[in-house]
Amino acid sequence: MIDNDRNDPTPRRISTLALTGGGALAVLFLALIAWPLISSNPIGTPTGGANPSSASDTTVGRTMPAQQAAESAVGKNDPAGQADATGGRERAIEQSSQPLSLSDQARNQVKDVISKQRAPPVQQAQFEMMIGSAVPGQVQLQDIPPEITQIMNGYWGDQYVLVQDKLVIVDQHTRRVVAIVPGVA
């Protein structure tokens, strides 16, 4: 008996599946190539603050969120607190985060004091701008002027760095962010 493979439906099904799969892959490939050319948002960055190229004030980098104006009650009221091996002070600083309450008059006074210090502002923070975040050792910090500790009623002995127009106060013992004061530089 002679086999006649021309009438067997199995190779046709395989051919049809291969053509369909190849066509789907071709469409996907073309879509991936064409998307960056026709889209105003080629990498699919979410709108509303996650795009660092916009004028948004909610990020400091590609994926780092930032707080607007905040302070740590522990960092403000207990500047002599020492870091311990278990990270208790770091946790306390982060957990005591609260909105910054600073009057316009006090903010202007802080702005005047900072302008007299002539500390160079950093355009891009190399750390996450949130209360409790660690500031790397390579970031140069300045000692906070006594006038600011009097105006803000706290942060004695701490240090600061200017990031764009924000005063970022850093705990002297743990190098953790304890306050963010916008609009002072």
Domain ranges within the chain, ordered by starting residue: 5-38, 70-181
Q: Please give the C-alpha separations between residue 75 and each of 4, 28, 130, 172, in angstroms, as whole numbers.
A: 86, 53, 13, 9
Mean pLDDT lowest among 7-16, 53-62, 99-108, 147-156? 53-62
Could you give the percent of the chain with pLDDT greater than 90? 12
Q: Which CATH class is domain 70-181?
A: alpha beta
Contact between residue 157 and residue 150 where contact means Cβ atoms under 8 Å apart: no
Mean pLDDT lowest among 79-93, 96-110, 170-184? 79-93
pLDDT at 6: 61
Confidence of residue 165 (pLDDT cuts 50, 70, 90): confident
Question: Residue 143 in 3-state DSSP?
Answer: strand
pTM for this predicted structure: 0.54
